[in-house]
């Protein structure tokens, strides 16, 4: 069996980079940048006031209180174009350009203006540079603000807009087809019979793929029929960069995924991973024109979630050239005992929190195995129990992988 880290490396190595495209700024959220973002202006673009108050010569206030003549007003988007002379002040608003000649701003709470607005009493001495944000102290024109490979967040949209990126160069979204297999499956709106289950994997897989930046197509689930499965895979692969199947990857009589892939001439990179849950995970590439990647995941819902986030998610992000393709890894203190396996590494669903001392705590969920999808709904991370470790006791430090969303 292939260790999980090596399986992930193979996925990264075999995942092709997709072409870049331009999208409107409104459509850029969640996309992976395909080019660096460079500032086309300084920030601030001018010396600006950090407070509402008065722009003054600091030297005029050293013997405060100072009685100064008000000669103008500067507001955001409407600066004052004169020059502040000795004994003068300009009424100024937050964000407004600092008038020429002034070297400090005193906040309005420390001043008293006459009723006619002609003079102002500055009651406290000012220091040069007080309440001023100097030009280019945040960003210098030509500076790289965001790097290719970063996923665009809502906060990044503000930066892109500020530097004139009405169009943003990003990686094309991977096209992913999701296919659940199994004759026991019925549609979600149906009432299952004694030997049936509602199809749930299609919905979670499509959502996981979408969260990884893909355009996901949910296919009708397939019965346990190798010929039919082969046809569905071939048809979906013609329009997909990746195909994610759930079920049919074990060693049972009705597990046809691997035989269907071999019949289609697929190159299989691995078919068993040293992982609990998720040992019979398949990763392959079809011999079609697109070189479609295929992930055959186990059918149990928790196994589906674990293996998708370890392997398929990595591939989808690698296709987009993302800088971070793997689940975020942290070290945490185990809040209660975690059971492992002698034969395989265990990736156990858990919640994470921070205690009063600021330590990250990981608490494995109480669950009944890889079919217990209800318990898994509370999981925010996976606790990694290395192969050969039967148990890790509470209080020990462990590796945790953060689950997306």
Judged against a pLDDT cut of 80, whether residue 365 lies above it is answered with: yes
Average pLDDT, the chain: 93
d(CA 146, CA 192): 50
Sheet containing 282-285: give its strands across. 215-218, 175-180, 242-246, 293-297, 282-285, 267-270
| Residues paired with 88 in a beta bridge | 69
Mean pLDDT value of segment 103-111: 97
Report the pLDDT averaged over residues 282-306.
Answer: 94
Give the model confidence (pLDDT) of 197-220 as tens digits.
Answer: 888 899 999 999 999 999 999 998
Q: What is the mean pLDDT of residues 264-271?
A: 96
Domains and CATH numbers, the chain: 2-18+173-319 (3.40.980.10), 20-43+137-171 (3.90.105.10), 48-133 (2.170.190.11), 330-402 (2.40.340.10)
Distance CA 311, CA 9 (A): 9
Q: Are strands 329-334 and 37-38 parallel, antiparallel or unpaired?
A: unpaired
Residue 317 to residue 315: CA distance in whole angstroms: 5
Mean pLDDT over 74-81 rounds to 94
Q: What confidence tens digit (pLDDT) does each residue in 5-44 have?
A: 999 999 999 999 999 999 999 999 999 999 999 999 999 9
Q: What residues are paired with 171 via a beta bridge?
A: 20
In the chain, % of residues over pLDDT 70: 97
Burial zone of 158 (CB within 10 Å; 0-12 exposed, 13-18 middle, 19+ buried): exposed
Q: Using pLDDT thresholds of 50, 70 and 90, give the confidence band for residue 370.
A: low
Q: What is the pLDDT of residue 369?
A: 65
Nearest to 305 by CA among 286, 324, 320, 327: 327
How sure is the predictor about 251, in pLDDT bands with cuts at 50, 70 and 90? low
pLDDT given at position 254: 45
Distance, CA of 215 to CA of 368 (rounded, Å):
33
pLDDT the model gives residue 405: 74
Q: What is the pLDDT of residues 148-197, one digit of tens each?
A: 999 999 999 999 999 999 999 999 999 999 998 887 888 888 888 888 88
CB 204 within 8 A of CB 303: no
- pLDDT value at 349 more than 80: yes
Question: According to the 3-state scheme, what is the secondary structure of the chain?
Answer: CEEHHHHHHHHHHHCCCCCEEEEEHHHCCCCEECCCEECCCCECCCCEECCCEEEECHHHHCCCCEEEEEEEEEECCECCCCECCCCEEEEECCCCECCECCCEEEEHHHEEECCCCCEEEECCCCCCCCCEECCCCCECCCCEEECCCCECCHHHHHHHHHCCCCEEEEECCCEEEEEEECCCEECCCCCCCCCCEECCHHHHHHHHHHHCCCEEEECCCECCCHHHHHHHHHHHHCCCCEEEEECCCCCCCCCCHHHHHHHCCCEEEECCEEEECCCCCEEEECCCCCCCEEEEECCCHHHHHHHHHHHHHHHHHHHCCCCCCCCCEEEEEECCCEECCCCCEEEEEEEEEECCCCCEEEEECCCCCCCCHHHHCCCCEEEEECCCCCEECCCCEEEEEECCC
Contact between residue 370 and residue 249 where contact means Cβ atoms under 8 Å apart: no
pLDDT grade, residue 253 (50/70/90)?
Answer: very low
pLDDT of residue 321: 98
């Amino acid at each position: 069996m292939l260790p999980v880290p090596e399986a992930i490396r193979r996925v990264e190595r075999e995942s092709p980079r997709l072409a870049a495209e331009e999208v409107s700024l409104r459509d850029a959220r969640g996309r992976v940048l395909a080019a660096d973002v460079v500032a086309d202006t300084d920030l601030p673009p001018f010396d600006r006031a950090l407070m509402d108050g008065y722009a003054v010569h600091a030297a005029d206030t050293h013997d405060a209180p100072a009685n100064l003549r008000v000669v103008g007003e500067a507001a955001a988007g409407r600066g004052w174009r004169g020059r502040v002379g000795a004994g003068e002040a300009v009424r100024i608003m937050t964000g407004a350009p600092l008038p020429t000649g002034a070297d400090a701003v005193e906040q309005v709470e420390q001043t008293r203006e006459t009723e006619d607005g002609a003079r102002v009493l500055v009651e406290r001495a000012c220091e040069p540079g007080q309440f001023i944000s100097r030009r280019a102290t945040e960003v210098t024109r030509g500076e790289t603000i965001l790097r290719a490979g970063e996923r665009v967040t809502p906060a990044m949209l503000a930066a892109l807009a500020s530097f004139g990126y009405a169009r943003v160069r990003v990686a094309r979204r991977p096209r992913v087809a999701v296919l659940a297999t199994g004759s026991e499956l019925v549609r979600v709106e149906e009432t299952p019979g004694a030997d049936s289950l509602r199809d749930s994997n299609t919905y979670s897989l499509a959502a996981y793929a979408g969260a990884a930046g893909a355009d996901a197509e949910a296919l009708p689930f397939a019965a346990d029929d190798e010929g039919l499965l082969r046809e569905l895979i071939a048809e979906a692969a013609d329009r997909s960069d990746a195909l994610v199947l759930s079920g049919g990857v074990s060693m049972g009589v009705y597990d046809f995924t691997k035989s269907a892939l071999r019949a289609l001439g697929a190159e299989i990179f691995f078919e068993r991973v040293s992982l609990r849950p998720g040992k019979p995970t398949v990763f392959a590439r079809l011999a079609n024109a697109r070189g479609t990647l295929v992930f055959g995941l186990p059918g149990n819902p928790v196994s589906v979630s674990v293996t998708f986030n370890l392997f398929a998610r990595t591939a989808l992000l690698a296709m987009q050239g993302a800088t971070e393709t793997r689940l975020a890894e942290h070290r945490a203190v185990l809040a209660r005992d975690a059971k492992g396996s002698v034969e395989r590494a265990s990736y156990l669903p858990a919640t994470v929190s921070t205690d009063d001392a600021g330590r990250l705590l990981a608490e494995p969920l109480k669950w009944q195995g890889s079919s217990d999808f209800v318990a898994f709904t509370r999981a925010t991370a996976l606790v990694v129990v290395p192969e050969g470790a039967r148990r890790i006791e509470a209080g020990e430090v462990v590796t945790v992988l953060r689950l997306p969303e």
